[in-house]
Amino acid sequence: MFNFFRSVKTQDALSVKPKHIAIIMDGNGRWAKKRLMPRISGHRKGLESVKTVITQCQKLNIPFLTLFAFSTENWLRPSQEVKFLMSLFQDSIKKESSALIKNNIRFKLIGDRKPFPKKLNDKINSLEKLTEKNTGLTLSIAINYGGRWDIVNAVNEYRKQNHFKKTFTQKNLIQKLSLNFAPDPDLLIRTGGEKRISNFLIWQFSYTELYFTEKLWPDFNEKAFMAALFEFQKRERRYGKTSEQL
């Protein structure tokens, strides 16, 4: 997946840049269907857009990128497609570990790993360990992830350690969420025309700017990515304050 990396210089093309971008990569199946191709062809093609956004984040010195690859609900899809997606992910980890290290990218996986086979979990853990000291882009891939699962899991993790002897606070919850190593996303991009967050990062999206595009994920190129960032620049982020207070 990541063998496209090249050395890139920080560019200041934008006056205001998000520190953390989250993307719901929607439309692979519809892209393939429009071309009378099997859905898995859309997933393969979608990897090119993954390459594009990672490269652009590196160029623009955006430190965090989180991609929604497979939700807790996606297990309901045809078994052949689910099997292919898991295989595609496993192959990418195997092939691209060295490229991630070379390009100073830290890899993280967020989601429930329990259903994964031991071999896949071992590869995930190994890649996270190999890249944990990298200081460039933090690339988080959400696999078997759901926002509701994340919140319930965080509460249960806190409960195991504290048995609710202490008052439970927002800070306690945030410390146990899957994405506790990153700031909340500044910008969510969703491709494919749907206008919902689909159980993705429910807690973290409280003040995230939402950007929806009709483009299907395999068609999401550099121009489309920059259009989202230029739209982000226009947003006034008040966090409850008035415009005059900013």
**What percentage of residues in the chain have a pLDDT greater than 90?**
69
| Residue 134 lies inside a defined structural domain of this protein | yes
φ and ψ of 202, to 5 deg = -55, -50
| Residue 65 lies inside a defined structural domain of this protein | yes
| Residues in CB range of 10: below 8 A, 6 or more apart | 59, 60, 61
| Residue 78 lies inside a defined structural domain of this protein | yes
Active site residue 74: yes
| Residue 227 lies inside a defined structural domain of this protein | yes
| Residue 245 lies inside a defined structural domain of this protein | no
Domain range enclosing 191: 20-147+184-234
Greater confidence (58 vs 165) lies with 58
| Residue 169 lies inside a defined structural domain of this protein | no
Query: How many folded domains does the chain comprise?
Result: 1
Select which of 3, 12, 26, 184 is catalytic: 26
89-113 per-position pLDDT tens digit? 888 888 778 888 889 999 999 999 9
| Residue 97 lies inside a defined structural domain of this protein | yes
Active site residue 112: no
pLDDT at residue number 13: 56
Is residue 21 within 8 Å of 225, Cβ to Cβ? no
As to burial, measured by CB atoms within 10 angstroms (0-12 exposed, 13-18 middle, 19+ buried), residue 153 is middle
**What percentage of residues in the chain have a pLDDT greater than 70?**
92
| Residue 72 lies inside a defined structural domain of this protein | yes
Is residue 42 within 8 Å of 82, Cβ to Cβ? no
Select which of 3, 12, 28, 74 is catalytic: 74
pLDDT at residue number 138: 98
- What's the CATH code of the domain at 56? 3.40.1180.10
